[in-house]
Structure 1
Amino acid sequence: MLFKSYRLLVLLTLSTSSCTNFLDVKPLESIADTQTITDQNSALTALRGVYSALASSDYYGTSFQSIGYLSGDNIQWTGSQSQVQEFINKRVNADNSTISAAWIAIYRTINRANNVLAKVPTVTDPALTTTLKNGYLGEAYAIRALAYFDLARTFGGVPLITNPTILPTDNLGIKRSTVAETYAQVLKDLDAAEPLLPTTTDRYRVTRKTVYALKARYYLYQQDWAKAEDFAGRLITDATNYRLTKPYGAFFLADARGTTESVWELFYNGTTEVNSHRGQWQPQTNGGTRQWAPNDALVALLNDPAVGGNRSVLVAKDNQNRWYGTLYYRNPASDPSYIFRIAEAYLIRAEARAQQGKTTDALADLNAVRDRAGLTALTSTTTATKDALLLAIENERRVEFALEPHRWFDVVRTGRAGAVFGLTDPNRYILPIPVQQLLSDKALTQNPGY
């Protein structure tokens, strides 16, 4: 179900985040939906539009990612907008503008994927070869899978829309599916995508290896440890293409992009397509607002040589001696958004192995990440029990992905929100359905406790 103001837009806007020739098209390019996807060129343009929606400021550009880290325990809000403080306080209300913007942006991404999936199979242009057609469909399936995965872990069960929304009345009245049904749709789309995609390496565009990454994360959340280990391992063993960069900052400092660290990142050119994260993190002296900043606890962890190691490059001090985050720093704002780094594969496999009692192998994966950070290896003595090993992995994830959107979702999915955040009301483990959606479609119901 899409917010009414979006559904009234019957034009499919195909603005794009630029990356090489694939995504390098004119910004704000729009054509009527009835005219789209009639040949190879328009099919590619429509696919670019899916990536553009994924990279938009309200999805992986800023808003959705901010839910993941503002809701954790690493970040403080230095501004005055009470709606942002709601995430810090773990008391998000249904009229929160960030969750509303993220919901709309994610469903916009789904809708664009639905257009590709509905129309590309019917195109008969000889230039749209079977290989190209399969690839376009596979990419759309995988991005739709990610979108529903993000909706499920944020809001619980949501309406499953698999047909394009063109008119305001299209897809109206679809009730929420259960969270299990929503996750089942994620797996269905990933399974559909996998055989359609090439086994090439592309850090900006979905391939079969990208699906391996998304499946590793999916199975981690589903606590299917054997499959999480399997799919994470497929990336780790591809050492020619995926490696932990040394030192830690090598994957993002000095204008680095598309390094061996990256499994999937989103490209921004800083002019027609801007990653708005930069302005939120950088201090005023660097042209930002520093409205989001590392809190004292995170600064202490990152600057502790035994915990942060060389990951201390994630923070710096401004001219007023205040700490700020450095992951997004480029001017103009062309910083990538990182959807999946190879470090995540190592820590997924470490957790999956630990859960299966494979202590030695789990420690090896955990220590690979620690070694890249310049830390000494943990031993079976320091992680003598399964719980101790899992806690070490959790703590490593907190620091490794300190400014990325993992912490909140990690603590919730492991059932530790009460112990870590003091959040004892399980209704607060997922966020409310935005009130605008409830008003727009009476078929929708609110999450309990809101």
Structure 2
Amino acid sequence: MTLPFIKRTRLAVGAALVAAPAFGLAACTDLSVDPFSSVNPENFYQTDAEVLAALSPVYSQLRATLWEYHNLSQVSSDETIVPTRGSDWSDGGRWLSMHRQDWSPTLTDLNGAWIQSFTGVARANGIISDLGGIDVPNKDALIAEARALRAFYYYTLLDLFGNVPILAPEPGSDPSEFIVDPDNPPVQRSRAEVFDFIVSELEASRGALPIAGAGNGGRFSQGAVDAVLANLYLNAPVFTGTVTAGGLQRGPARWADAERLATQVIDSGTYSLVQGANAWFQMFSADNENNPEHIFVIQHLAEIGFGLSFPQRGLHYNSFTGGAWNGFSTIAETYQEFDGEDPRRQIFAIGQAYNYDACDPVTNPESCTVDTNGDGVADAAIENRNDEPLIFTLDFPGGVENTTEGAGVRIVKFPPDPEYTETADGNHGNDYPYFRLGEMYLIRAEARLEQGNTAGALADVNAIRDRVGAPLLTSIDRKAILDERLFELTYEARRRQDLIRADESIAEFGGSGNLFTRAWSFKDASQPFRVLFPIPQQQIDASDGTLTQNPGY
């Protein structure tokens, strides 16, 4: 059953999502719903619709992760930069600080990411507590679904912050057990302990979840569990390692496990690689629901509060009806990594800018060059605020602290929704695939290469290249896999992970140390401890000494 889009839901008492300020868990319910005192688990969970209504807020919180969590993952890497354009996108310097990796624990985005993920944890805990004490249809499956979602929220916390408290009451426990008591707060766990908790929760939940496929209506499935585990095992040396002021001390590799889980998804018969460049682009479009390659998605609608803002972030104010925000770009050296013969390069907009209402510059660029009146200007070409041709440039004239309106190559992997109107206020209907089959091939390729199976790694990478019509490779090494992950997964919140994991093992970088903290355009080399973000200062201050800051900060 597809998860409903519900703005207002009646929640059971245990789902009231209460917590002390020390861990930033805010109440997450609409204040216009019926008071919690009017319902309880025994009289609420009577129908499938009511159970889904209670589960819906746990899923809806996933959309929040596509702001702070996604932005921190992207803008701190070489894939994305948000330059200041006059008075636009200055925001106290936070975007450039994110890209330059000179952030402090007071960066507002850090606290936002912390609160958003722990809100998801709290919502899941409420459902788990309620369902454990009552008898409802498919009870085990629903508890497993909530536990898997909770594990996913912890995955985002593990990725960004590493050492976080674990709030995980058993099913049927008293709701008071997961209210954060300021006098007896939960213990902050090591990154390795959080990793083990996520793995154990996913493994314990898997058997009760549906096999499902084609995105499973946005709900968790066995394939989603396997995909998250494959990613965890791929990053195990980082995720179970220890970060000191001197940098990352890696934990044990789990290459065999990464290969096993990725293979389990690939061989399940539940998902399939889309074939052809246009089919690849369609995976990210506004009509991408139930795509055969999608494993775990966040569903969206072109309605206020339910949409994806990715198309808004990079395109120009005049790019489509209602206008975009003219912010996010990529740097020249990253754009130039893409081979001109690789169709996936078309996810970038460079040169003359066009109106997406009038043409399709990604899958049908010829439609943008039509000049019906013969004046030498394409009908769909757009102008800047000075009524001059809008040209997206490779470089940033004047520098990224005060650049021009058209500066920077734009990432348009998730194009505007044709159904989008100004009343949608930045919300597009493109579903976002947190995990899809293409990544499983790349995880397996990397795991195989690390275990000495060069032929298997090459076959997996070429399967990804062949399906979009990119030239096939004749040899494979770590640099080639890192590059292929860039070509395939740009703007899917993987680049930061990839650069940290790759480290100095890639000889082509000349032993430059950690690839994430190295220098690139508009960024000097940063301190090695910045492979892990700091615990937000707001949380440190509110914890009364319970939370310890990550090293180096």
Aligned position for 2:223? 209
How far residue 74 of structure 1 moved from its aligned partner, in angstroms, is: 1.5
Q: Does 1:146 align with 2:152?
A: yes
> Within 2, Cα distance between the matches of 1:338 and 1:115?
26
SS of the residue corresponding to residue 103 of structure 2 reads coil
How far residue 301 of structure 1 moved from its aligned partner, in angstroms, is: 2.9
Q: Which amino acid aligns with 1:181?
A: E
How far residue 92 of structure 1 moved from its aligned partner, in angstroms, is: 1.7
> Within 1, Cα distance between the matches of 2:333 and 2:21?
38
**Aligned pair partner of 1:77 in 58, 77, 82:** 82
Give the 3 Å change call, closer, same or farther, for CA 100–188 of structure 1 in structure 2: same
Higher helix share: 1
CA RMSD of aligned residues (A): 2.4
Check the 8 A contact 1:215/1:228 in 2, yes or no: yes
- Give TM-score, length-normalised by structure 2: 0.71
Q: Does 1:288 align with 2:324?
A: yes
How far residue 335 of structure 1 moved from its aligned partner, in angstroms, is: 1.9
SS of the residue corresponding to residue 336 of structure 2 reads helix
Give the 3 Å change call, closer, same or farther, for CA 428–2 of structure 1 in structure 2: farther
Q: Which amino acid aligns with 2:542?
A: S
Q: Which amino acid aligns with 1:230?
A: R
Aligned position for 2:289? 257
Aligned length: 418
> Within 2, Cα distance between the matches of 1:171 and 1:114?
21
Give the 3 Å change call, closer, same or farther, for CA 194–8 of structure 1 in structure 2: closer
Q: Does 1:62 align with 2:67?
A: yes
Task: For 1:5-16, list aligned pairs within 5 A.
Answer: 7=25, 9=27, 13=29
Query: Which runs of no fewer than 5 residues in structure 1 stay unpaired?
Result: 16-27, 384-388
SS of the residue corresponding to residue 188 of structure 1 reads helix
**Aligned pair partner of 2:202 in 190, 208, 215:** 190
Give the 3 Å change call, closer, same or farther, for CA 102–171 of structure 1 in structure 2: farther
- Give TM-score, length-normalised by structure 1: 0.86
How far residue 420 of structure 1 moved from its aligned partner, in angstroms, is: 5.4
> Within 1, Cα distance between the matches of 2:456 and 2:228?
22
SS of the residue corresponding to residue 75 of structure 1 reads coil
SS of the residue corresponding to residue 263 of structure 1 reads strand
Deviations 1:19-61 (A, max 9, x none): xxxxxxxxx75652883543244432221110011222xx1x3
Q: Does 1:50 align with 2:58?
A: yes
> Within 1, Cα distance between the matches of 2:541 and 2:197?
26
Check the 8 A contact 2:234/2:447 in 1, yes or no: yes
Aligned position for 1:94? 105
Deviations 1:105-135 (A, max 9, x none): 00000011111112212112xxx22xx2122
Check the 8 A contact 1:275/1:334 in 2, yes or no: yes
> Within 1, Cα distance between the matches of 2:433 and 2:20?
26
Q: Which amino acid aligns with 1:210?
A: A
> Within 1, Cα distance between the matches of 2:526 and 2:23?
36
- Percent identity of equivalent pairs: 26
Give the 3 Å change call, closer, same or farther, for CA 419–326 of structure 1 in structure 2: closer
How far residue 392 of structure 1 moved from its aligned partner, in angstroms, is: 0.7
Give the 3 Å change call, closer, same or farther, for CA 282–296 of structure 1 in structure 2: same
Q: Does 1:350 align with 2:445?
A: yes
Task: For 1:256-275, list aligned pairs within 5 A.
Answer: 256-272=288-304, 273-275=306-308
Task: For 1:86-125, list aligned pairs within 5 A.
Answer: 86-124=97-135
Give the 3 Å change call, closer, same or farther, for CA 391–299 of structure 1 in structure 2: closer
Task: For 1:287-436, list aligned pairs within 5 A.
Answer: 287-302=323-338, 304-306=339-341, 309-317=342-350, 318=353, 319=382, 320-322=390-392, 323-328=409-414, 329-330=416-417, 331=420, 332=424, 333-380=428-475, 383=476, 389-416=477-504, 418-419=514-515, 421-422=517-518, 423=525, 425-436=527-538
How far residue 168 of structure 1 moved from its aligned partner, in angstroms, is: 6.4
**Aligned pair partner of 2:188 in 170, 176, 199:** 176
> Within 1, Cα distance between the matches of 2:75 and 2:20?
25
Query: Which runs of no fewer than 5 residues in structure 2 stay unpaired?
Result: 1-18, 84-88, 170-174, 237-252, 354-381, 383-389, 393-408, 505-512, 519-524
> Within 1, Cα distance between the matches of 2:298 and 2:96?
27
SS of the residue corresponding to residue 233 of structure 1 reads helix
Deviations 1:50-95 (A, max 9, x none): 0011222xx1x32211111111101121221211211210112111
Aligned position for 1:35? 39
Check the 8 A contact 2:74/2:80 in 1, yes or no: yes
How far residue 216 of structure 1 moved from its aligned partner, in angstroms, is: 0.9
Check the 8 A contact 1:155/1:433 in 2, yes or no: yes
Q: Which amino acid aligns with 1:103?
A: W
How far residue 2 of structure 1 moved from its aligned partner, in angstroms, is: 6.3
Range moving further from structure 2, 273-282 or 439-448 = 273-282
Give the 3 Å change call, closer, same or farther, for CA 33–47 of structure 1 in structure 2: farther
Aligned position for 1:23? none
Check the 8 A contact 1:68/1:404 in 2, yes or no: no
Aligned position for 2:161? 155
Give the 3 Å change call, closer, same or farther, for CA 326–77 of structure 1 in structure 2: same
Check the 8 A contact 1:3/1:436 in 2, yes or no: no
Check the 8 A contact 2:285/2:430 in 1, yes or no: no
Deviations 1:353-411 (A, max 9, x none): 1111111111100111111232222123xx3xxxxx12110111112111121101111
Range moving further from structure 2, 312-321 or 401-410 = 312-321
Deviations 1:259-311 (A, max 9, x none): 11211111111214122333212211131112111222233234x324xx111
